[in-house]
Amino acid sequence: MCGIVGYVGPRDCTDVLIDALSKLEYRGYDSAGIAVFDNGKISVAKSKGRLKDLENKMETEGRPQGHAGIGHTRWATHGEPSDINSHPHSGKRVTIVHNGIIENYKKLKDFLVKQGKNFLSETDTEVVAQLLDYYYDGNPLETIIKTVHELEGSYALGIVFADFPDTVYAVRMESPLIIGKGEGESFIASDVPAILKYTKDYYLLEHGEVAMLNRNGVKFYDIHKREIEKELKTADWDMDAAEKGGFEHFMLKEIHEQPESIKKTIAPRISDGLPCLEECGITPEKLKSFDKIYIVACGTAMHAGMVGKYVIEKLARVPVVVDIASEFRYRDPLLTDKDLVIIISQSGETADSLAAMRLSKKLGAQTLAIVNAKGSSIAREADMLIYTHAGPEIAVASTKAYMVQIAVMYLLAFELALASGAIDESQCRQLTALLQSTPELIEKILEEKKQAQYIASKLITADSLLYIGRGLDYALSMEGSLKLKEISYIHSESYAAGELKHGTISLISDGMPVIAVATQTALFDKTISNIKEVKARGAKVVIVCRNGYEPEKDVADYKFGLPDIDDILMPMTAVVPLQLIAYYTSVLRGNDVDKPRNLAKSVTVE
């Protein structure tokens, strides 16, 4: 969602802000803006659209010049994307950028209107700017603290006061914010990639903390205005992580990074050929002590949970419920202290997933987070934590994060199955070795990407299509369908192949594409029958199946073949062609693959 940056130092501030914002583009945005101290005065430039629209505007209307300022990419929540609604927003003496939502903005706005304040935009952000202005008494820290006491919601702010040139303030109330520390310069940012070009050293602002950046460095304060010391952290990501490295898009780069991401994620959790999650606070005894497992997440992460459900239930014989976080948190879930709630999240900041985890803890369940972003809120608050090591995922459409999420699901399932006696040690070793062999198989699949491109070329004119499969193939179809629709903008649905006859098959018309995933040996014949049913009604069928199967004309028009591996591990490989097909379809339709319309990478609002 929205991205915040800020800079104080000797470089050209506008250059730094625009460059840092470009590294946050992946979060999704529809307008951008900056505020820079130009000859001691705050100069604002903002525009609807992409950063290049802002650059163009500055070329004609003037480019702020200075050495301190704040910047923002906005993902519209209150009011449409427009120049006026773009950040920064100002009161008379205060200018701010904002990430998150102010829940009580309406009440505050009514109050401020009564006090004679005028509003230009429809945003909740302008209410904060005006409230800061209302409380301003010449002391920025006092003013900020007084103001945040009045605000409800999760948010982060970057603030400049006209009376304090070349000084930038930042405050975090839930929404993440980091403070970068370079040689004689400092930064604020919503995420580490924004500042990696300048420094790897940063402080993680905690909830309720304020930072003040000026030429002398950075000072931190708690909510009681007491100065505090903070621990300097060093990012273990290098610059390459935030660059495309020769690939046309981040998404393609990230698809290719999957073998490496799997190795990095599973290697430290395998000891003597068996899964070992003790360093994550998970012992076999603890794992088997739960009666039931809930997996709660959103979007792609929830689809990873679907794979987890099939695998854990099949191998460990423990019931697993998968829930969408936004539903789970409001449906009064039946949890006890005998339940384990697994929260899966790439960003670790998804508002609904975080709320679902807090609710689970409140109801007495144990929580285990599977998170990619280090130090994120979900990671810090969970009882147990398994970090996935995919590195930063920049493309909005998640690929490598999903891959490592399911890799962790396998490790958990193997360990739980062994602990509960559902499989023996030699079966567990065998399964673990198979999991370790998947990176190599994925490399082989990536060599066949031209076939995915060819299949994509047959889909680009479709208005709508279906993904079908049974069992684990159905779980995978959900992810294939989401990937395609989010970046190609072609409508698609996933269906359990056996469910088609109960209504959906009436949608099939001549030439409608159906992507059938058929990797599960035990269900193969049944799936083929379902495929024949749609083929007989005119569907154009793409089958994703094992290399050994050659479909007859009455089954499929196009095939993507996969190397052999045990049924249970097929999702690790079969998802790759689905990702590639979605990717190439989006490219061929000329879409903005890495930044699909209306979407944000990190969904920090409900």
C-beta of 527 vs 602, nearer to ligand F6R:
602
185: helix, strand or coil: coil
Q: Which position among 48, 181, 449, 601 bears the catalytic label?
A: 601
Compute the residue count for the chain: 606
439: helix, strand or coil: helix
Interatomic CA distance for residues 156 and 171, integer angstroms:
6
C-beta of 388 vs 432, nearer to ligand F6R:
388
Q: Which residues are within 8 A (CB) of 20 and not within 5 positions of it... i.e. 6 or more apart?
A: 5, 7, 71, 187, 189, 194, 195
Task: In angstroms, give the least distance from the CB of 349 to ligand F6R.
Answer: 7
Task: In angstroms, give the least distance from the CB of 100 to ligand F6R.
Answer: 15
C-beta of 43 vs 350, nearer to ligand F6R:
350
C-beta of 520 vs 602, nearer to ligand F6R:
602
C-beta of 91 vs 480, nearer to ligand F6R:
480
Contact residues for ligand F6R, defined by CB under 6 A:
298-301, 345-347, 350, 353, 397-398, 482, 486, 602-603
C-beta of 95 vs 300, nearer to ligand F6R:
300
Task: In angstroms, give the least distance from the CB of 306 to ligand F6R.
Answer: 12
Task: In angstroms, give the least distance from the CB of 399 to ligand F6R.
Answer: 8
At 526, give phi and psi (nearest 5°).
-65, -40
Interatomic CA distance for residues 94 and 128, integer angstroms:
10
Closest CA to 528 of 506, 504, 565, 559: 559
Q: Which residues are within 8 A (CB) of 226 and not within 5 positions of it... i.e. 6 or more apart?
A: none
Strands 41-48 and 209-214: unpaired
Closest CB to ligand F6R belongs to which residue?
A: 299
Q: Are 71 and 97 a contacting pair, CB within 8 Å?
A: yes
Task: In angstroms, give the least distance from the CB of 482 to ligand F6R.
Answer: 6
Interatomic CA distance for residues 179 and 212, integer angstroms:
10
Full 3-state SS string of 375-437:
CCHHHHHCCEEEECCCCCCCCCCCCHHHHHHHHHHHHHHHHHHHHCCCCCHHHHHHHHHHHHH
Task: In angstroms, give the least distance from the CB of 584 to ligand F6R.
Answer: 16
Q: Where do we find the tokens 């002391």?
A: 139
Task: In angstroms, give the least distance from the CB of 358 to ligand F6R.
Answer: 14
Could you tell me the two tokens for 326?
């936004």
DSSP notation for 217-235: EEEEE-TTS-EE----EE-
C-beta of 204 vs 482, nearer to ligand F6R:
482
CA distances 349 to 3, 190, 345, 346, Å, are 13, 11, 8, 8
User: Does the active-site annotation cover 106?
Assistant: no
User: Does the active-site annotation cover 601?
Assistant: yes
Query: How many CB atoms sit inside 10 A of residue 448's CB?
Result: 17
Active site residues: 2, 601
